[in-house]
Structure 1
Amino acid sequence: MSTANLQVNLGPTGLESSLSEVESTMQANVRRFAGTVMRPVGERLDRLTPEQVIAPDSELWHVLAESAKLGLTTESLFSLNGHERGRLMPLLFEEFGWGDAGLACLLGVATAPWMALYNMGRQDLLALYPEGSRIGCWGLTEPDHGSDMVDFNGACAVPGGRHSRPNCVVKVEGGDLVIHGQKSAWVSCGPIAQLCVLCTAYDDGSGELKRCVVLVPLDVKGVTRGKPLDKLGQRTLPQGEIFFDAVRIPRDHLLAGPDEYDFEVNAMLCEGNALMGSIWLGCARAAYEHALDYAHQRRQGGVPIIQHQSVRQRLFHMFRKIEAARALNQRACLYNYSSAAPALQGSIATKVTSTQTAFEVASEAIQMFGGNGITREYPVEKLFRDARPALIADGCNEMLAIKGGTLLMDHGRLVA
């Protein structure tokens, strides 16, 4: 029997276990959307200025309109039980990331307010701000506070260290909340969002600044925006500053006060980091597929380069890393969606693993393409540029690793 007869030709998602009919259908629908809409539009948007990306005639709005036709609303996802969501979410967001990772991040963060409202059971605010009526964003980092904002309980702080004063503060004034300050240029969807889940300092008049989460409509008086950020990669994801000058909102827009802050931000990070793991797994898969196709087409030494042993070895290690990242991502998502309490260390593990995998696989793909790989005529240089900022986004990987390691500590076993 020849070796060829023993070969198993795997599908796009490799060693995927059997899917239910619903999972298979939804995966196919999202893959079709990712390939026919997200990828070609993403390639064109990547060549525009940040201002052109968000202009009224931009194809960005076409992506948002077409994505709505998929029917993947927050309400429909929350109608599933935890096990069903835990299986479905990584499948779908891998496909989004395979299409265009920057646009995938946009589609994810645009729903952030509604994910928070459903998680918190705020039916009153869901009625006031129905899903689909606005684009959302999540305001976390500040000019003087970057990845340390994900360390919401200070577990990773240097002993004796102190944070500088917050750049954004909510103050209680009668029946209203009044917001002063700004969020940094890294607010994803910041230049186009109309509703913000704002994680910020909280001044309740006690003399001690605490923390809170508030829901802020961004069409109210006192809200202004900075210029959209001009970036190395993820140019399809608009990011920019949001400024708050005595912005007044009703007090019932407080989603989490100081007592609930840690719990709610932990939940948001668990969801966000896990879906980042799915998205960047998709980016890694895209780079691997381009490299595999190119290795069959490109000839050197009189043969397609895949016949060279070193090329086959490189491709195998790309495949290996992607399979490992996928296994971790699906495992972390299933645990977090179906367990009584999500494990942030699991979400951090998949975010760090997938972003590192995407960066390494995209780099290997460039190497395999040779000189062609660094030209804009071929797709892998964009994938590499997109993957590099992912090592920093949603908490830089170094800070997240400290956070994750801190969550592994059993304080009861520490020797005095």
Structure 2
Amino acid sequence: MTQKLDRDGSVRPGLPHVELTGFEILSDDERVVQDATHKFARDVMRPMGIAIDKLSAEESIAPGSPYWDFMRIAVESGIGFDADPGDVPPQLLARLQAIVIEELGWGDMGLTVSLAAAAFANMMAKRVGNQELIELTEGKLGCWIATQPDRGSDGTMLYPDERHPSATQGNKGNLTAKVSGGDIVINGQSSAWVSNGPVAQVAIMSIAADYGDGFFDDGGHPRGVEVIVPLDLPGVSRGKPLEKLGQRALPQGEVYFDNVKVPVRYAVSLGDDYWRGHASTWSTAGVGMGQMATGLARAAFELAMQYAHERRQGGALLAEHQMVQYRLGTMARNVETMRAVARRATEYTVLSPAKHPYYTGGSKVTCTDLAFEVADEALQIFGGYGLTREYPLEKLFRDARAARIEDGENHLLNMKFGYLNALLYRASL
């Protein structure tokens, strides 16, 4: 830290060391990775995300859409969630993952979710080490089908005791599988919120299953299966892409299944291993939400900081008013908090021998709620200009609002984190 002489000759401290992502110290290798990802996010993601946001849902996935240009450039640039980490130690891998995904979220959160969903089936195939499934999903645009019109939060109840006391059994939903004779036969429809649903070539599905003795075990808890399904099979069809408030660069929509048959060897979690496998899948998916939300919040904070140094009010720049400085300080604290929580959750999820999605869900709640607070306050600093499409704040506000519902509604996830802590307390007695 450098020192400077004030006018009266006294020594005062210089400014602290900061990185692109604030008050931390990066290694040279980490900085190279961060700078390259930031350039991609700045030059490719952000302008394409803004362009797609202005299109209808149908236009956004039509041939020639910026969405397809983005996906092509991402592949050509080696940007993706299914890259081979090589011999990178797990602790460093966790740190790099958090750094990279934050930068992508800074560029555009909807496109980041789409990139993550695109790689998810291949990631799960690699998790179980099934070479046939790895080859089946390699280079394919994927999606994760886990919610249905009548089974959203119900599908995240890992424990039978979470069920409401008046319910005699859980909810299997209308999208189910029957496992028999070496085959898995799937019927029903997903919800409209399947990320990449309208464009995916392959899916990882987490659904209730009947193995020959019904969909429920003796405790009334649904049995299930996680299975990878190519979406070009007979019986698969799609609904229209969803028109929605935020993250419009992320295509979402229903996928329908009419007696779609795949071999049992396409399953990644089967029978008694289903709930444990589903928990692992959910943990892997959920941890990225905090990283993306941190990037979104940082983007909103940076725009507010820039505007506060351009806009004059009461004879001075906004940034020179103490109340605005207080507001900027609160936003900066929230971004720093989000980064710390997201990276802690990432490290735990990568390194823990028993990771848990309710903890990941708790971190997602913290980060996405704070991201919304930051985006809301940034828009408030812009005043009426923040409500117009002339500035990117209203898009960030809408994207942040969507994040509080996707990958688990925040009130529900917060309840589950509380339930997990109660289970841990009882186990310690």
Residue aligned with 2:77, SS? coil
Q: Distance in 2 between the 1:44 and 1:327 partners? A: 32
Shift of 1:409: 2.3
Equivalent residue number for residue 68 of structure 1: 75
- Counterpart in 2 of 1:181? 188
Matched, 1:317 2:330: yes
Could you tell me which amino acid in structure 1 is paired with residue 76 of structure 2? K
Equivalence for 2:166: 160
3-state SS of 1:102 partner: helix
**Aligned pairs, number:** 413
Q: Distance in 2 between matches of 1:83 and 1:11?
A: 20
Separation in 1 of the partners of 2:41 and 2:67?
13
> What is the identity, as a one-letter code, of the residue corresponding to 2:336?
E
- For the residues of structure 1 that align with 2:259 and 2:56, how far apart are their CA atoms? 31
Q: Letter of the aligned partner of 2:344 in structure 1? A: R
* 1:351-398 alpha-carbon deviations (Å, 9 max, x no partner): 111101110000001110011010110110100000101111111011
Q: 2-side partners of 1:98 and 1:384: how far apart?
A: 13
Relative CO higher for 1 or 2, CA cutoff 8 Å, sep ≥ 6? 1
Q: 1:368 aligns with which of 364, 381, 395?
A: 381
The one-letter amino acid paired with 1:25 is: V
Match of 2:219 in 1: none
2:213 aligned residue: 206
Q: Sequence identity, in percent?
A: 42
**Does the Cα contact within 8 Å between 1:222 and 1:246 map onto a contact in 2?**
yes
Q: For residue 237 of structure 2, what is the aligned residue in structure 1? A: 224
Write the mapping of 1:11-410 to structure 2, written as runs, cut at 5 A.
11-19=19-27, 21-72=28-79, 74-77=82-85, 79-129=87-137, 131-132=138-139, 134-161=140-167, 162-209=169-216, 210-410=223-423
> CA RMSD, aligned part only?
2.0
Q: Which one-letter code corresponds to 2:162 in the other structure?
A: C
Hey, what's the Cα distance between the residues in 1 that align with 2:173 and 2:286? 24
Q: 1:410 to 1:165 in 2, by over 3 A?
A: closer
Cα distance change of structure 1 residues 109 and 128 upon mapping to structure 2, 3 Å threshold: closer
Q: 1:83 to 1:127 in 2, by over 3 A?
A: same
Uncovered stretches (5+) of structure 1, i.e. residues with no partner? none
Whether the 8 Å CA contact 1:137–1:196 is kept in 2: the answer is: yes
The one-letter amino acid of 1:233's match is G
- In structure 2, what is the Cα distance between the partners aligned to 1:79 and 1:135? 26
Distance 1:202 1:243 in 2: 17
Q: Which runs of 5+ in 2 are unaligned?
A: 217-222
Cα distance change of structure 1 residues 78 and 233 upon mapping to structure 2, 3 Å threshold: farther
SS of 2:84 mapped into structure 1: helix
Change (3 A) 1:75 1:292: closer
Q: CA deviation at 1:5?
A: 5.1
Q: Does structure 2 conserve the Cα–Cα contact (< 8 Å) formed by 1:168 and 1:180?
A: yes
**How many Å separate the matches in 1 of 2:160 and 2:303?**
42
Encode CA deviations 1:159-195: one digit per residue, 9 max, x unaligned. Answer: 2324344211111243321111011001000000010
Evaluate the alpha carbon distance shift between residue 238 and residue 415 of structure 1 in structure 2; reply closer, same or farther with a 3 A threshold. Answer: closer
CA distance in structure 2 between the partners assigned to 1:78 and 1:167 by the alignment: 41
Report if the CA contact (8 A) 2:172-2:208 is conserved.
Answer: no
- Aligned to 2:65, the other structure's residue is in SS state coil
Task: Tell whether the 8 Å contact from 1:198 to 1:216 is kept in structure 2 after alignment.
Answer: yes
Q: What is the rounded CA distance, in whole Å, between the counterparts of 1:4 and 1:189 in structure 2?
A: 54
TM-score (norm 2): 0.92
Change (3 A) 1:155 1:84: farther
TM-score by length of 1: 0.94
Once residues 262 and 421 of structure 2 are traced to their aligned partners in structure 1, the CA distance between those partners, rounded to angstroms, is 39
Say whether the 8 Å CA contact 1:222–1:245 is kept in structure 2: yes
The 1:411/1:267 distance shift into structure 2, 3 A limit, reads: closer
Checking the alignment, whether the CA contact within 8 Å between 2:125 and 2:133 is kept in structure 1 is yes
Question: In structure 1, the residue corresponding to 2:369 is in which secondary structure?
Answer: helix
- How far did 1:47 drift? 0.5
Contact 2:101/2:291 (8 A) holds in 1: yes
